[in-house]
């Protein structure tokens, strides 16, 4: 807190002192130059009466008497009075002309004033007239009071600022020591609220990544254990005395398990790529109807047992959208393949529009998805039936990748009952 207070206090005081001494140069002199005529008129009005009284006193007198009279009058003035020859004055030509016109000449920013006595070459000089200058004691006292007041103001500002900054520091220290739930709680009206919100967002993201990493590690170890165990068993059986037909069968089993491991690694890498905050999707504008029909055509060979139909709504025939073609195709393909595992006879893929937004429905005529599980299925490695075989299973990453892709496109994925009787997955962005 001392550092915050001192830095703010010193900044204020240095600024005040700087302004005090720079004000005449930065403001005073330019203003006087700009309002020069107004200043001259002001000083002439201020001294006109005094000069007239002096002229009334001096005009009837001889030069010697004028000098003595000025000396007598000096006792009644708080600034010097003098008589001088006009030829000895250091004035400009314009100012000398003003004297001959019996105008008051103002010099030195209102410190010296001159007026010519009519029908003579004698000039009455008044000044220098000094502004009020307080004594050193008063000046020091004024600065002491100002310093005290600004010190108090700096303290009143620094204390709540320091307490809020300290709250952020404490949260950061707790987070660094392993308390990943630590957050900085500040009022939204605080000047430090944006910093606290940024820290909280970062902490939440890190907490999510750590939790996801732990869950991913646990799930991956579980997913790897089964195919590795099958490979080990098949290797043992292949080395055991047996006929070539049995050995070929076990080797084929090993090949299938290796393919399963390869697929798992591929999906893990894809999931990890999309799990980053900014994977750098390369978006481009696409005419959605031909793009979707091509995507469906490419995935059809993997679904020989069911019929896949692609429908384009009339208002979506010329629909355009900015997408990452390969990544969005991956999401749509995952949904179609997922539907193919449970569909009885057919899958229907439909492209529609909704208020300039793009919708893709994937419907199947399978058993559907329970309402309680419609959010959970998008989590990594989640399966609704734990007894899936290798033919119907997968690794539980396909739908998680779908959610990642559509989220990075600024959209959402929803699950509901399908008109066909099964499940309807809808991509909306």
338 and 303 in contact (C-beta within 8 Å)?
no
**Total Cβ atoms within 10 A of residue 183:** 20
Edge-to-edge strands, sheet with 423-428: 307-312, 346-354, 357-364, 423-428, 412-417
Q: Which of 6-20, 36-50, 70-84 has the lowest mean pLDDT?
A: 6-20
What are the phi and psi torsion angles at 282 (to 5°)? -90, 95
147 and 91 in contact (C-beta within 8 Å)?
no
Mean pLDDT of the chain: 84
pLDDT of 311 strictly over 50: yes
Residues 200-219: tens digit of each pLDDT:
999 988 887 787 777 767 76
Residues 71-127: tens digit of each pLDDT:
999 999 989 999 999 888 989 999 999 999 999 999 988 899 999 999 899 999 999
pTM reported for the whole predicted model: 0.49
Residues 237-277: tens digit of each pLDDT:
777 766 777 777 877 888 877 877 777 777 777 766 676 54
CATH architecture observed for domain 284-428: 2-Layer Sandwich (3.30)
Average pLDDT of span 401-410: 88
Binned at pLDDT 50, 70 and 90, residue 164 comes out as: confident
Q: What is the CA radius of gyration of the chain?
A: 46
Length of the chain: 429
How far is the C-alpha of 202 from the C-alpha of 259, rounded, in Å? 38
How far is the C-alpha of 183 from the C-alpha of 202, rounded, in Å? 10
Where does 271-345 show beta strands of DSSP type E?
284-287, 307-312, 320-323
Q: Cα angle vertex 68, ends 64, 73, to 5°? A: 140
Q: Where are the domains of the chain?
A: 215-275, 284-428
Binned at pLDDT 50, 70 and 90, residue 298 comes out as: very high
**Which CA distances in Å does 251 have to 226, 234, 391, 393?**
17, 7, 18, 21
pLDDT of 344 strictly over 70: yes
Range with the largest mean pLDDT of 5-19, 29-43, 52-66, 157-171:
52-66
Average pLDDT of span 367-375: 89
pLDDT of 387 strictly over 50: no
């Amino acid at each position: 807190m001392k550092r915050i207070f001192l830095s703010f206090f010193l900044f204020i005081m240095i600024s005040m002192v700087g302004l005090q001494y720079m004000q005449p140069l930065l403001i005073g002199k330019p203003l006087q130059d700009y309002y020069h005529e107004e200043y001259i008129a002001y000083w002439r009005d201020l001294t006109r009466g005094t000069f007239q009284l002096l002229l009334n006193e001096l005009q009837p007198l001889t030069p010697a008497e004028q000098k003595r009279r000025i000396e007598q009058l000096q006792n009644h003035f708080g600034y010097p009075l003098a008589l001088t020859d006009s030829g000895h004055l250091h004035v400009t030509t314009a100012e000398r002309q003003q004297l001959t016109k019996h105008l008051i000449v103002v010099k030195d920013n209102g410190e010296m004033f001159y007026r010519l006595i009519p029908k003579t070459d004698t000039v009455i000089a008044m000044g220098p007239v000094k502004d009020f200058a307080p004594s050193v004691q008063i000046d020091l006292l004024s600065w002491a009071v100002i310093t005290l007041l600004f010190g108090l103001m700096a303290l009143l500002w620094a204390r709540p600022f320091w307490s809020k900054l300290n709250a952020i520091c404490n949260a950061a220290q707790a987070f660094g020591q392993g308390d990943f739930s630590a957050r900085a709680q500040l009022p939204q009206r605080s000047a430090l609220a944006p910093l606290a919100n940024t820290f909280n967002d970062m902490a939440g993201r890190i907490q999510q990544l750590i939790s996801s990493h732990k869950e991913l590690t646990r799930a991956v170890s579980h997913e790897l254990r089964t195919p590795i165990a099958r490979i080990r068993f098949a290797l043992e059986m292949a080395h055991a005395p047996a006929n070539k037909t049995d050995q070929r069968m076990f080797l084929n089993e090993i090949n299938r398990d290796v393919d399963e491991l390869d697929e798992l690694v591929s999906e893990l890498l894809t999931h990890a790529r999309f799990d980053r905050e900014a994977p750098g999707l390369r978006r481009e504008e696409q005419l959605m109807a031909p793009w979707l029909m091509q995507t469906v055509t490419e995935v059809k060979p993997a679904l020989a047992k069911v019929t896949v139909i692609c429908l384009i709504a009339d208002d979506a025939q010329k629909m355009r959208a900015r997408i990452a073609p390969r990544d969005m195709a991956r999401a749509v393909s995952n949904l179609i393949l997922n539907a193919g595992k449970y569909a009885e006879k057919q899958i229907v893929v439909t492209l529609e529009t909704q208020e300039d937004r793009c919708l893709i429905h994937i419907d199947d005529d399978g058993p559907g998805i329970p309402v309680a599980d419609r959010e959970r299925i998008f989590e990594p490695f989640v399966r609704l039936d734990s007894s899936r075989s290798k033919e119907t299973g997968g690794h539980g990453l396909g739908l998680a990748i779908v959610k990642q892709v559509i989220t990075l496109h600024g959209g959402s994925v929803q699950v509901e009952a399908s008109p066909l009787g099964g499940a309807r997955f809808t991509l909306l962005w």
